[in-house]
Structure 1
């Protein structure tokens, strides 16, 4: 059977004892998180006790009061200046959803405000925009929003938890630059754009674009960013020799014929050093073949390494070439191959030495034979 208080409550409703200047308060919270239920009241009730109750608001349904403002799951605070008392419900579960009442205790008839609490999962969203880019590049994440949110706070965060997105925002429309991040809000197009420079593979992951709403949950759109290792469509290996010139050939798209052509050196393209201003490096553009040559005069051992040549300052894939240059030291073999005169010298010299040796042997044998003949004649004369 219903308690007497429940009957009185229903009777009070029928007699319009339950009054509220704001009507029904609709509140949405995230499961496993906490939610604030803020209940305004009229002037003159600052010193009155307030409470939050659920369902029929019987004696057992009172959850928290301003007299006893903290329990294991609920806590409340009465801002008497703003005339709003706020109750926080923590560790929200599905059974916490439903109808609540904000009450102001009065003699015989209390004042009530109805609250409907809806709970949703702490994740987003049904549709995810996927973006692919490469390390060292810049990326622009476009976040559209509805016209009524033109003047609202915009922000972006990592992850997929709307409940903590604003607290962990990487950048907001109130602070439009933060390190590698920049936010631009185009109110005419009703979208804000977040630009991230110098991408690394650690930037890969989920992002949420958020728009703040004052009395409801913020609005979000989801983005999945994949940053792949910087790679080349064209990659070559080249050998050169110390002290000799070397020509590097770099093709480019025909539409880039008027672009500045470059050659830089370094393991990473985004930190390589421009070599075209070095005196030993000369650039020759051949528009008819859509390629340019870089001639390196008198290679040095220190010239070995990784080079990048191209015609696109944005470093779009396919518009550059990666070259691995190995520089060999000059050896006897390379000298002979590159200088036929030296080949002749190195071949003739041993031959001459051999001929001299044979001549010496021949002279020695001749003198020996003559000596033997002279000895024989002397012996016969004595006889």
Structure 2
């Protein structure tokens, strides 16, 4: 006599994973929530608190091919092809720190969910940058992450998307794409974004996005305002004679009457001139040597007045 055993394998809903996420006040985070492919047709939601008392912050039945769903500072996009949904939180504050859940709504059993532990730290906030048509701007962005060489994107936001303009290259500190350049000073955790030959169409909302892992990224939003004013005078850089130049970081370098200190942490360098005379009056430039494209510079008009 043969005995045939029949087994039924059930997908038992419950906790799938736990994610630790770090964000910075004034910025935002994007969190990737995964779910079983058997629940692509179910509603997805994001709530705050322990599972037994979780309060919905955003919920949607909208699927990929449609668009992001917004609710206040929260946005959600369900990509059923990849069986993930993405939750974005903007304008973070320290009060947002705490426990969250991202889940698939299952009517007949306990929902599938992932725990999200969000920690919001005080961070740099860059809200607006102003430039002028025909000129240049430099945006300095200080980031903190334990990831050695995180990928960083600079994008311009449009309808339901952010179009990447340039991103970092793990193999090199400098990256150049058209009018855009970025320098990733990894030791100082400082990103510099350079935009040349500005025009009024460059005005708009931008994001600097730091991808920490496959689970989440954090970002800062920046409004760039380009004004159609008088085009800045372009100095004859080719005729400019170097008085002092250095690649040394965070230490003074001397050359005759001139000294220079490059403070990479603050993204500024200081030039000191001693023993001034009226002959020193005139136009000077302090610049960043980009080598393979036009340098960034600040024009300095020095006027020496006879003293007692």
TM-score band, normalised by shorter chain? 0.3 to 0.5
TM-score, length-normalised on structure 2?
0.43
Q: Which has the higher contact order (CA 8 A, sep 6+)?
A: 2
With the length of structure 1 as denominator, give the TM-score of the two structures.
Answer: 0.36
More helix by share: 1
Larger radius of gyration: 1
